[in-house]
Protein backbone atom coordinates (compact mmCIF):
# COMPACT_ATOMS: atom_id res chain seq x y z
CA UNK A 1 0.00 0.00 0.00
CA UNK A 2 1.34 3.39 -0.99
CA UNK A 3 0.88 5.63 2.06
CA UNK A 4 1.45 8.76 -0.06
CA UNK A 5 3.97 10.17 2.38
CA UNK A 6 7.05 10.60 0.19
CA UNK A 7 8.75 14.00 0.61
CA UNK A 8 6.49 15.06 3.47
CA UNK A 9 8.24 16.69 6.45
CA UNK A 10 7.70 15.52 10.04
CA UNK A 11 8.75 16.72 13.47
CA UNK A 12 9.18 13.91 15.99
CA UNK A 13 9.83 14.76 19.63
CA UNK A 14 11.60 12.26 21.83
CA UNK A 15 12.90 10.97 18.53
CA UNK A 16 16.20 9.41 19.60
CA UNK A 17 14.98 6.31 21.44
CA UNK A 18 12.06 3.96 21.99
CA UNK A 19 8.74 4.66 20.29
CA UNK A 20 9.90 8.02 18.97
CA UNK A 21 12.89 6.51 17.20
CA UNK A 22 10.74 3.71 15.80
CA UNK A 23 8.24 6.25 14.47
CA UNK A 24 11.05 8.30 12.93
CA UNK A 25 12.44 5.24 11.18
CA UNK A 26 8.98 4.17 10.02
CA UNK A 27 8.32 7.58 8.50
CA UNK A 28 11.77 7.70 6.92
CA UNK A 29 11.13 4.33 5.30
CA UNK A 30 8.17 5.98 3.55
CA UNK A 31 10.36 8.81 2.27
CA UNK A 32 9.47 11.39 4.93
CA UNK A 33 12.10 14.01 5.80
CA UNK A 34 12.57 14.51 9.52
CA UNK A 35 13.20 17.05 12.22
CA UNK A 36 14.13 15.01 15.30
CA UNK A 37 14.13 16.56 18.77
CA UNK A 38 15.51 15.07 21.98
CA UNK A 39 17.51 16.15 25.00
CA UNK A 40 20.52 13.84 24.58
CA UNK A 41 22.49 15.55 21.83
CA UNK A 42 25.05 12.77 21.32
CA UNK A 43 22.47 10.01 21.00
CA UNK A 44 20.36 12.22 18.75
CA UNK A 45 23.25 12.85 16.36
CA UNK A 46 24.02 9.14 16.22
CA UNK A 47 20.47 8.14 15.26
CA UNK A 48 20.25 11.05 12.83
CA UNK A 49 23.30 9.79 10.96
CA UNK A 50 21.97 6.23 10.97
CA UNK A 51 18.58 7.24 9.54
CA UNK A 52 20.24 9.27 6.80
CA UNK A 53 22.40 6.27 5.88
CA UNK A 54 19.54 3.77 6.01
CA UNK A 55 16.86 5.72 4.17
CA UNK A 56 18.47 8.61 2.29
CA UNK A 57 16.10 11.25 3.65
CA UNK A 58 16.93 14.66 5.08
CA UNK A 59 17.19 14.65 8.86
CA UNK A 60 17.68 17.69 11.07
CA UNK A 61 18.51 17.09 14.72
CA UNK A 62 17.50 19.56 17.42
CA UNK A 63 18.81 19.08 20.94
CA UNK A 64 15.95 20.54 22.96
CA UNK A 65 13.86 20.03 26.08
CA UNK A 66 10.28 20.28 24.85
CA UNK A 67 8.99 20.89 28.35
CA UNK A 68 10.39 24.42 28.12
CA UNK A 69 9.40 27.42 26.04
CA UNK A 70 12.99 27.72 24.87
CA UNK A 71 13.06 24.12 23.70
CA UNK A 72 9.90 24.51 21.65
CA UNK A 73 11.23 27.73 20.15
CA UNK A 74 14.41 25.91 19.16
CA UNK A 75 12.40 23.24 17.33
CA UNK A 76 10.22 25.81 15.58
CA UNK A 77 13.32 27.71 14.53
CA UNK A 78 14.80 24.59 12.93
CA UNK A 79 11.78 24.06 10.68
CA UNK A 80 12.54 25.48 7.27
CA UNK A 81 9.40 26.05 5.21
CA UNK A 82 6.97 24.35 7.55
CA UNK A 83 6.06 20.75 8.32
CA UNK A 84 3.30 18.36 7.33
CA UNK A 85 3.35 16.06 10.37
CA UNK A 86 3.92 16.63 14.09
CA UNK A 87 4.44 13.64 16.37
CA UNK A 88 4.23 14.70 20.02
CA UNK A 89 5.98 11.71 21.56
CA UNK A 90 8.32 13.01 24.26
CA UNK A 91 7.34 11.78 27.71
CA UNK A 92 8.21 9.47 30.56
CA UNK A 93 6.64 7.57 33.42
CA UNK A 94 6.43 8.72 37.00
CA UNK A 95 6.34 7.12 40.44
CA UNK A 96 4.87 8.92 43.45
CA UNK A 97 1.86 9.25 45.69
CA UNK A 98 -0.57 12.12 45.40
CA UNK A 99 -0.19 13.12 49.04
CA UNK A 100 3.60 13.25 48.91
CA UNK A 101 4.37 14.61 45.42
CA UNK A 102 5.22 18.34 45.52
CA UNK A 103 3.81 20.96 43.17
CA UNK A 104 7.08 21.10 41.23
CA UNK A 105 6.77 17.44 40.23
CA UNK A 106 3.21 17.94 38.98
CA UNK A 107 4.30 21.01 37.03
CA UNK A 108 7.25 19.22 35.43
CA UNK A 109 5.05 16.46 34.02
CA UNK A 110 2.36 18.92 33.00
CA UNK A 111 4.92 20.87 31.01
CA UNK A 112 6.33 17.72 29.40
CA UNK A 113 3.11 15.91 28.51
CA UNK A 114 0.64 18.74 27.96
CA UNK A 115 2.23 22.15 27.50
CA UNK A 116 4.79 20.80 25.04
CA UNK A 117 1.90 19.70 22.82
CA UNK A 118 0.09 23.00 23.29
CA UNK A 119 3.16 25.07 22.46
CA UNK A 120 4.19 22.96 19.47
CA UNK A 121 0.66 23.19 18.05
CA UNK A 122 0.74 26.97 18.34
CA UNK A 123 4.18 27.07 16.72
CA UNK A 124 3.65 24.63 13.86
CA UNK A 125 -0.06 24.49 12.99
CA UNK A 126 -0.06 27.88 11.20
CA UNK A 127 2.62 26.57 8.84
CA UNK A 128 0.60 23.41 8.24
CA UNK A 129 -2.39 25.58 7.37
CA UNK A 130 -0.33 27.50 4.82
CA UNK A 131 0.79 24.19 3.26
CA UNK A 132 -2.82 23.09 2.82
CA UNK A 133 -3.13 20.84 5.87
CA UNK A 134 -1.29 18.38 8.02
CA UNK A 135 -1.38 15.79 10.78
CA UNK A 136 -0.74 16.07 14.52
CA UNK A 137 -0.47 12.89 16.57
CA UNK A 138 -0.13 12.61 20.34
CA UNK A 139 1.49 9.62 22.01
CA UNK A 140 -0.59 9.26 25.15
CA UNK A 141 -1.06 5.97 27.05
CA UNK A 142 -3.57 3.38 28.08
CA UNK A 143 -3.03 4.92 31.52
CA UNK A 144 -5.01 7.93 30.33
CA UNK A 145 -8.07 5.71 30.67
CA UNK A 146 -6.96 2.81 32.86
CA UNK A 147 -4.59 4.26 35.47
CA UNK A 148 -1.74 2.48 37.20
CA UNK A 149 -1.73 3.21 40.92
CA UNK A 150 1.94 4.00 41.29
CA UNK A 151 2.06 6.84 38.75
CA UNK A 152 -0.85 9.22 39.35
CA UNK A 153 0.86 12.22 37.77
CA UNK A 154 1.57 10.30 34.58
CA UNK A 155 -2.04 9.07 34.50
CA UNK A 156 -3.50 12.53 34.97
CA UNK A 157 -1.26 14.34 32.48
CA UNK A 158 -1.74 11.68 29.80
CA UNK A 159 -5.51 11.91 30.28
CA UNK A 160 -5.23 15.67 29.83
CA UNK A 161 -3.20 15.13 26.66
CA UNK A 162 -5.99 12.97 25.21
CA UNK A 163 -8.58 15.65 25.94
CA UNK A 164 -6.32 18.33 24.47
CA UNK A 165 -5.97 16.18 21.37
CA UNK A 166 -9.74 16.03 20.93
CA UNK A 167 -10.17 19.76 21.46
CA UNK A 168 -7.37 20.57 19.04
CA UNK A 169 -8.87 18.22 16.47
CA UNK A 170 -12.16 20.09 16.58
CA UNK A 171 -10.40 23.43 16.23
CA UNK A 172 -8.13 22.52 13.32
CA UNK A 173 -10.12 20.17 11.10
CA UNK A 174 -11.48 23.15 9.18
CA UNK A 175 -7.88 23.82 8.14
CA UNK A 176 -7.48 20.23 6.92
CA UNK A 177 -5.25 19.43 9.90
CA UNK A 178 -6.13 16.04 11.37
CA UNK A 179 -5.38 15.52 15.06
CA UNK A 180 -5.50 12.15 16.82
CA UNK A 181 -4.12 10.40 19.89
CA UNK A 182 -2.61 6.95 20.33
CA UNK A 183 -2.84 5.00 23.60
CA UNK A 184 -0.15 2.30 23.70
CA UNK A 185 -0.08 -0.43 26.31
CA UNK A 186 3.08 -2.37 27.20
CA UNK A 187 5.95 -1.46 24.87
CA UNK A 188 9.48 -2.86 25.21
CA UNK A 189 11.36 0.42 25.55
CA UNK A 190 14.68 1.19 27.28
CA UNK A 191 12.68 2.79 30.13
CA UNK A 192 10.92 -0.51 30.85
CA UNK A 193 14.21 -2.42 30.65
CA UNK A 194 15.88 0.06 33.01
CA UNK A 195 13.04 -0.33 35.51
CA UNK A 196 13.23 -4.11 35.25
CA UNK A 197 16.98 -4.11 35.91
CA UNK A 198 16.53 -1.90 38.97
CA UNK A 199 13.72 -3.98 40.44
CA UNK A 200 15.35 -7.35 39.85
CA UNK A 201 18.85 -6.43 41.06
CA UNK A 202 19.89 -8.89 43.75
CA UNK A 203 16.58 -10.78 43.68
CA UNK A 204 17.56 -13.76 41.56
CA UNK A 205 14.82 -12.89 39.10
CA UNK A 206 15.92 -12.12 35.55
CA UNK A 207 14.88 -9.05 33.61
CA UNK A 208 13.14 -11.27 31.07
CA UNK A 209 11.20 -13.11 33.76
CA UNK A 210 10.13 -9.83 35.35
CA UNK A 211 8.90 -8.37 32.05
CA UNK A 212 7.13 -11.59 31.12
CA UNK A 213 5.28 -11.53 34.44
CA UNK A 214 4.15 -7.95 33.72
CA UNK A 215 2.90 -9.04 30.30
CA UNK A 216 1.16 -12.14 31.67
CA UNK A 217 -0.58 -10.09 34.36
CA UNK A 218 -1.80 -7.30 32.10
CA UNK A 219 -1.87 -8.06 28.37
CA UNK A 220 -4.02 -10.91 27.06
CA UNK A 221 -1.65 -11.19 24.11
CA UNK A 222 1.00 -12.26 26.63
CA UNK A 223 3.88 -10.04 25.56
CA UNK A 224 5.19 -6.51 25.23
CA UNK A 225 4.93 -4.75 21.89
CA UNK A 226 8.03 -3.96 19.94
CA UNK A 227 8.29 -0.18 19.37
CA UNK A 228 8.10 -0.82 15.62
CA UNK A 229 4.61 -2.28 16.05
CA UNK A 230 3.47 0.97 17.65
CA UNK A 231 5.27 2.98 14.99
CA UNK A 232 3.33 1.25 12.22
CA UNK A 233 0.11 2.73 13.60
CA UNK A 234 1.61 6.21 13.84
CA UNK A 235 2.85 6.01 10.26
CA UNK A 236 -0.55 4.94 8.98
CA UNK A 237 -2.34 7.67 10.94
CA UNK A 238 0.11 10.19 9.46
CA UNK A 239 -0.90 9.26 5.94
CA UNK A 240 -3.73 10.37 3.65
CA UNK A 241 -4.94 6.76 3.83
CA UNK A 242 -6.26 7.65 7.29
CA UNK A 243 -8.06 10.76 6.03
CA UNK A 244 -11.36 10.07 7.84
CA UNK A 245 -9.79 9.48 11.26
CA UNK A 246 -10.17 12.76 13.15
CA UNK A 247 -10.30 13.47 16.88
CA UNK A 248 -9.94 9.79 17.72
CA UNK A 249 -7.97 7.94 20.36
CA UNK A 250 -6.70 4.58 19.14
CA UNK A 251 -5.63 1.87 21.58
CA UNK A 252 -2.76 -0.42 20.68
CA UNK A 253 -2.43 -2.47 23.84
CA UNK A 254 -2.55 -6.21 23.16
CA UNK A 255 -6.00 -6.40 24.74
CA UNK A 256 -5.00 -4.78 28.04
CA UNK A 257 -7.83 -2.24 28.15
CA UNK A 258 -10.63 -3.41 30.44
CA UNK A 259 -13.78 -1.95 28.87
CA UNK A 260 -15.65 -2.22 32.16
CA UNK A 261 -13.43 0.41 33.80
- Among all residues, which ones are annotated catalytic? 154
The answer to whether 127 and 82 are in contact (CB under 8 A) is: yes
The answer to whether 182 and 197 are in contact (CB under 8 A) is: no
DSSP per residue over 203-228, as a string?
Answer: TS--HHHHHHHHHHHH-TT-SPBPHH
Sheet holding 33-38, edge to edge: 59-63, 33-38, 9-13, 85-88, 134-139, 177-184, 249-252
Residues 6+ apart with CB under 8 A from 147: 155
Q: Report residue 166: phi and psi, to 5°.
A: -65, -45
Amino acid sequence: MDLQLRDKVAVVTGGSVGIGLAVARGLAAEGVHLVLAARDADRLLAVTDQIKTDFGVRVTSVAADVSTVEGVDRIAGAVDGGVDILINNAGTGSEETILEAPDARWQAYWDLHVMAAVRLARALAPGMRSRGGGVILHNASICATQPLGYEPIYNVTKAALVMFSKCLANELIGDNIRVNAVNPGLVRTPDWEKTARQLTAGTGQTVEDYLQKIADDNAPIGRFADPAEIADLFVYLSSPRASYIVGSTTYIDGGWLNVTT
